[in-house]
Structure 1
């Protein structure tokens, strides 16, 4: 090759051509450093016929590639996935490829770093903080700031222990090899139903062919243990496995279960890793040394050398949909990666999405079912509490029947969970004198009061401010009142009624890292918590045998708004949180507080008739031509100037093409009309399933011009309609 096409990491640019200097070996997929003006950019060599260039230049004007990175080339299956993702989600290829080259330090040579570990010596002056640090650090090794975070002490305490000789410095290779999971370490005792399901999945791995399989099992049926058998088969075959989890907080419990089964932890990939950890993981993945990777959705685009299995756990979860940057859905992209890699894909869920169920109906996905809980445990009994007939006390949020059930569990020393999918203390704070409401200055959203941190916070842009002493509008003192409950307010009610009960609040504000999740799990397993008050973070992945009661504080909350998936999401969420109860020998009980006990979704939850609910939801989607029977795409126009956003939104609306089987609604101000200081308008494209809506939108918007201050984003298959 003397001339190559390079996809550089700049989404504003298309592919560029470069000359390969004599003595430099490159091939499609090679990661290279290329000049652009005075700058140097990373890029990947691409096949010219697959990535046409708009600006062909003569050989005499080409600049030389500067270097080839010390890393394996990006493989052909991953290059095809980048192309597909770019084409389907209407995103620049460079934006997709950026997720593949997520650790630029991984492209450099071997590195050494200084870490610290306990020596076992006792310091001459053993303060309570030093004692706590040494106890919590144990055999861990890491940077000073990491050990300080683990021990919950200041960095000065760790440095003092280093000076005293209780902690020592060690030089380590940041690319030291990971342990290899042992598939024979601790094989589980499976029930006949689990063994049959596991054998089916293992056969799929052994065949090494693309085959998507829905592993549909009720909560507590042992789905993880079953698909672990497929992971074991992939390890035996020398293949790599990717397990996707929807939440970073679920990583730590998963790592523990994996360690118990395989004798070591898998390689983790998520936003909580420091740069040296990301580098080590990336290089191990690219070399094939990392045999099992567990990660968040971005782990999908890493350069696996020898991928033999993909598992999407909790595959129904909406958090698999990326809401900024490239608007991809990890569940769907995982299936496409399996197709390009020629490997099986397992979608595990207790409440599969209607889109996934429809693929099973069409015969495109295989289905493996686990209809019963493992070990004879029974599914919990679910009862609805009609809040109109059994209202809570004035100013309270828990109905009498739920209060009685909580008292009963406290007396029996069993654990309870109260679920409310709303962070903070109250969703709205207003002045009782003048009616002033606290709104985010950057968004059309109310500020949420957080009493634990004494802040008002916007959950959309992150803006925070202290709770004022006086009303900023009328200057009245002591007139600010919270409206509605968040988890902190429910926890206050619990503490006031049962001051002796040990209460834990579990939200993304309190469980922000795998370490915090591990601490929570440890406290639950040790029996140090009586009542958990949490958001959707506790609806999945956790197994607490002594948790026997779940109370859903406001089951109607998820039904608000115009989301077409509102009923399905509510069913999935409450069904998932209900599954936390009665997972051991003790029976479980679930109370669902609602103002609409006769609603179809509530009836389905109480009767346990999931099939009837899904059939009705599927039919209503079919009649409306909604996904999976039709297609949606959102076009979001935003600008710091409202007039500019409105003008371009109007231009896009007026120039909408007239395609048979396609309708364009809008433009209209978005429900969140301002977000992060930008005014927003939305258009919704609704098309029949067979229409290639991406090509239509690509040509439609490609013929328009708008100023740089206006941003136009396309969200194919949107999950958020805000």
Structure 2
């Protein structure tokens, strides 16, 4: 007998779920999005339970208006962690689910890749490249970056290309943009570039060997002064994770997500590296979220908002500068990303590494 009642968490400041009738043609699952009537308007909520009975008069229940997903948005372990986080930080469950969703999903957009903007050089641009750009340093940087092929708008942001310079180059006819859905990204056989690898000292090697032998959950602290090699230690830990076909999540403070940081990872690892941060538009953020969920992304680097991204097979979590105050969410669902990263690692049964500057 199929369930007839669905419990739905809605983005309202009430710590409770609401019951709705399931129409005969709908087959919702826990963790899926639905549109439901709520007073005079419709709200997007998350199905949190299915049953045959209601504590209310069934004749007064309203039916679900629309089912948006055929499968849960989050894997079971992450779904349970989100519910745990809601209870631990005493936040309404519906607002918590809404907070950890990409904005596009909150608006009801499909949970599959959307078209993204890409930039490429025109023939006129190639001709101009040979003539040079004089004192237009920013224009030259963008044009030389496009020499090897097209780039997404996010990649342009990663190299600090400004919108005004891109617009100028486009108006001159040297570059052009188009909207397209990116192809599925496959992992290469060679996932690490050995040339960029640095020699570890005895203590660093001991840390790498110890953590590489961890089976299941482990929380480790890397403590050292700036330049002591903490980054190299966790880069080698990520290397081991990638070789096993698993993914890595690297959390950094807002101020730490620089093009230099991203480029260091890209020089080292020959896998798709995705970023999530406040500078992304809704489509870019959704695509990054989906790449991690579908295993197209080998490494996800992001600020605290990246923490609740679903992964196909997460193998390690790194929290860089774990003492930084930007890991604290100050509005909406108030939580500490470092502490939630530890709990996520515990739920996933994987190691989490906290890296900090030596403060003594």
TM over 0.5: yes
Show the counterpart of 2:230. 223
Instruction: Give yes or no for the alignment of 1:112 onto 2:79.
Output: no
What is the correspondence of 1:313-352 to structure 2 with a 5 Å cutoff? 313-351=320-358
Residue 312 of structure 1: aligned partner:
319
3-state SS of 1:230 partner:
helix
* Aligned position for 1:562: none
The answer to whether the Cα contact below 8 Å between 2:139 and 2:165 also exists between their aligned partners in 1 is no
- Which of these residues, 151, 175, 183, is aligned with residue 167 of structure 1? 175
| CA positional deviation for 1:307 | 2.2
Displacement of 1:100:
2.1
Please name the residue that 2:68 is paired with: 68
Alpha-carbon shift at residue 154 of structure 1 (Å): 4.8
| Corresponding residue for residue 57 of structure 2 | 58
Q: Deviations over 1:34-61 (max 9, x none)?
A: 2323433222211479xxxxx9423333
Deviation at 1:346, TM superposition (A): 1.1
Task: Specify the alignment match of 1:666 in structure 2.
Answer: none
Between the aligned partners of 1:246 and 1:9, the Cα distance in structure 2 is: 27
Deviations 1:489-545 (A, max 9, x none): xxxxxxxxxxxxxxxxxxxxxxxxxxxxxxxxxxxxxxxxxxxxxxxxxxxxxxxxx
Task: Give, in whole Å, the separation in 1 of the partners of 2:352 and 2:166.
Answer: 44
Aligned to 2:161: 150
- 1:133 matched residue in structure 2: 139
Please give the residue correspondences for 1:114-263 in structure 2 after superposition, counting only pairs within 5 Å.
Answer: 114-119=117-122, 120-122=125-127, 132-137=138-143, 138-139=145-146, 141-142=151-152, 150=161, 153-154=164-165, 157-162=168-173, 166-173=174-181, 175-178=182-185, 180=187, 182-186=190-194, 187-204=197-214, 207=215, 209-263=216-270
Which protein, 1 or 2, shows the higher relative CO under an 8 Å CA cutoff with sep ≥ 6? 2
Q: Which residue of 2 aligns with 1:298?
A: 305
Cα pair 1:267 1:292 within 8 Å, conserved: yes
Question: Quick one: structure 1 residues 143 and 76, their matched pair in 2 at CA, closer, same or farther if it must change by over 3 Å?
Answer: closer
RMSD: 3.2
- The answer (yes or no) to whether the contact 1:285–1:304 under 8 Å persists in 2 is yes
Query: In structure 2, do the counterparts of structure 1 residues 109 and 152 end up closer, same or farther at CA, with 3 Å as the change threshold?
Result: closer
- CA-CA distance at 1:305 after TM superposition: 3.2
TM-fit CA distance, 1:261: 1.5
CA distance in 2, matches of 1:155, 1:228: 33
Deviation at 1:130, TM superposition (A): 7.0
Asked if 1:102 is matched to 2:109, the reply is no
Equivalent in 7, 10, 24 of residue 8 of structure 1: 10
Q: How far apart, in 2, do the equivalents of 1:127 and 1:190 lie?
A: 43
8 Å CA contact 2:104, 2:283 repeated in 1: no
- Asked whether the equivalents of residues 241 and 291 of structure 1 are also in contact (C-alpha less than 8 Å), the reply is yes
Secondary structure of the 1:104 match is helix
Contact kept, 8 Å, 1:9 with 1:94, in 2: the verdict is: yes
Q: Which residue of 2 aligns with 1:79?
A: 79
Kindly state the Cα deviation for residue 198 of structure 1 after the two structures are TM-superposed. 0.7
1:466-510 CA distance string (max 9 Å, x none):
xxxxxxxxxxxxxxxxxxxxxxxxxxxxxxxxxxxxxxxxxxxxx
SS at match of 2:172: helix
Cα separation, 1, equivalents of 2:71 and 2:30: 13
Using the size of structure 1 for normalisation, the TM-score is: 0.43
Pair 1:43–1:258, CA change in 2 (3 A): same
Q: Structure 2: how far apart are the matches of 1:73 and 1:318? A: 29
Q: Distance in 1 between matches of 2:301 and 2:318?
A: 9
Deviation for aligned residue 1:171: 4.1
Alignment match, 2:36: 34
Q: 1:289 to 1:72 in 2, by over 3 A?
A: farther
Which residue is 2:292 aligned to? 285
The residue aligned with 1:24 is 26
Contact 1:28 1:73 in 2 (8 A): no
SS in 2 for 1:168: strand
SS at match of 1:150: coil
How far apart, CA to CA, are the structure 2 residues paired with 1:149 and 1:336?
34
Say if 1:286 and 1:184 are closer, same or farther in 2 by CA, change over 3 A.
Answer: closer
Which blocks of at least 5 consecutive residues in structure 1 are unaligned?
Answer: 50-54, 352-571, 573-609, 611-722
Within 1, Cα distance between the matches of 2:141 and 2:260? 21
| Distance (Å, rounded) in 2 between the aligned partners of 1:110 and 1:151 | 25
Aligned 8 A contact 1:256 1:265 in 2: no
Other structure's SS at 1:121 match: helix
